[in-house]
Structure 1
């Protein structure tokens, strides 16, 4: 019991550190926007050129990066709602945090060289790597917290497909469960899809490559609207603890 309490305290401290990382990352994003000196602005024409060619794109990039970081923070909030969190998952989360800390640097890079396709590819690859790390973490979390479903996957698959026309099958996890886990998986896929599209568009238009990340906002909104009424637990046989767990995840997703 003492070891469990110690680990719970360690997990709470870990969550606090994670929140701190995100708070700092979101704050220093704006600091990457350089303020010109009087020596740089010699006339109204130069100032206008600065607004058009640097400040306006930088503010757009700032808001896009800010929302991306916020989206990753939302994923982390869901992560700490799971009851069974292993040291391996916490270590993987710290690796993810280290990668998240690179976003302000990549954003500053974009501020200065947003019109170069290779800089856009660098930024997109960074977001893709972070997105994939989150998917790996949640695969492990679902496996740890719903391990009993592995032994009854065929029964659960039949139940879901009979009662719900959008049954889920994770071949790698062998997990078949209806509801918020499917919504969560869709939400985790949103930045992956946006990153891949951004990499492709970087060869066509750097600005379109950046704007493609707005898909995260659009897809997440659509997923929550479309899935909200379907994420009930009425037809899923869960224990009280499991219902509480999934209920907490639902609250994190929908803010209910």
Structure 2
């Protein structure tokens, strides 16, 4: 049997590596913006053209990309709030980090070719893949941390057809369909929705494809605002350990 102290230490080291990767990725983003030389800019007219055609769009793309990376980092904060984190989830996290490291390259690609469909498709597909990896990780986390609720599939299926407000026969089952975990999956779906929209818009308007990622900011804000009051532990029959766990999870989503 694996020592719990060893597992906790392993999770802490993974969390440290994860934070480091995101910190570097977020820093490198701005370095992708090319600074022109004096030989490239020889007049005020050329400087104005550089600003309008390259610098202004690049700065906008930089802030959009920075927020997307920040949103993914927030997911990892929630990830390491779970009590049970399997090696499979940690492996998926490493694969996700490898994809995150490609975001600065994809962003730099957009800086130069934001008017081209292929550049937008590459960026959008990358964000979609990372978003789906996060959903897969959190599905495994929910399953591992609440395994006992999935032991009886027939009862689970019956309970899911009942009214949310009336509660369920299975103890604490509404934890899956309401409250913190439901909010979590709403948040995870936000970048999936925007990346799919961006993929479609890439064939119509590359510029609109880039701007569509601003929808992630709006969706995340609305989800947190509208669900804050409902994400509480009032009325749930929970053990002290479950309350502490869910309290930590809620704080990871909304802050202390």
Give 1:236 deviation, angstroms: 2.8
For 1:48, the equivalent position in structure 2 comes to: 48
User: Do the aligned residues in 2 keep the contact of 1:54 with 1:112 (CA within 8 Å)?
Assistant: yes
* Aligned counterparts of 1:203 and 1:241: Cα–Cα separation in 2: 50
Offset from partner CA, 1:32-89 (integer Å, 9 cap, x none):
0000000000111100000000000000000000000000000000000001001111
SS at match of 2:83: coil
SS at match of 1:140: helix
* Aligned counterparts of 2:192 and 2:136: Cα–Cα separation in 1: 12
For the aligned residue pairs, the C-alpha RMSD in angstroms reads 2.3
* Aligned counterparts of 2:240 and 2:142: Cα–Cα separation in 1: 17
SS at match of 1:243: helix
After TM superposition, which residue ranges in structure 1, 4 or more long, deviate above 6 angstroms? none
Give 1:235 deviation, angstroms: 3.1
User: Do the aligned residues in 2 keep the contact of 1:178 with 1:236 (CA within 8 Å)?
Assistant: no
Counterparts of 1:142-161 in structure 2, within 5 Å, are 142-151=142-151, 154=155, 158=159, 161=162
- Show structure 2 runs of 5+ residues with no match: 169-174
Q: 1:160 to 1:226 in 2, by over 3 A?
A: farther
For 2:233, the equivalent position in structure 1 comes to: 233
SS at match of 1:37: coil
SS at match of 2:3: helix
For 1:249, the equivalent position in structure 2 comes to: 249
SS at match of 2:232: coil
* Aligned counterparts of 2:213 and 2:158: Cα–Cα separation in 1: 34
User: What TM-score do the two structures reach when normalised by structure 2?
Assistant: 0.92
* Aligned counterparts of 1:237 and 1:140: Cα–Cα separation in 2: 24
For 2:172, the equivalent position in structure 1 comes to: none
For 2:199, the equivalent position in structure 1 comes to: 199
Offset from partner CA, 1:76-112 (integer Å, 9 cap, x none):
0000000100111101100000000000000000000
Number of residues paired by the alignment?
Answer: 250
Counterparts of 1:135-214 in structure 2, within 5 Å, are 135-151=135-151, 154=155, 158=159, 161-164=162-165, 176-214=176-214
For 1:222, the equivalent position in structure 2 comes to: 222
User: What TM-score do the two structures reach when normalised by structure 1?
Assistant: 0.92
- Show structure 1 runs of 5+ residues with no match: 168-174
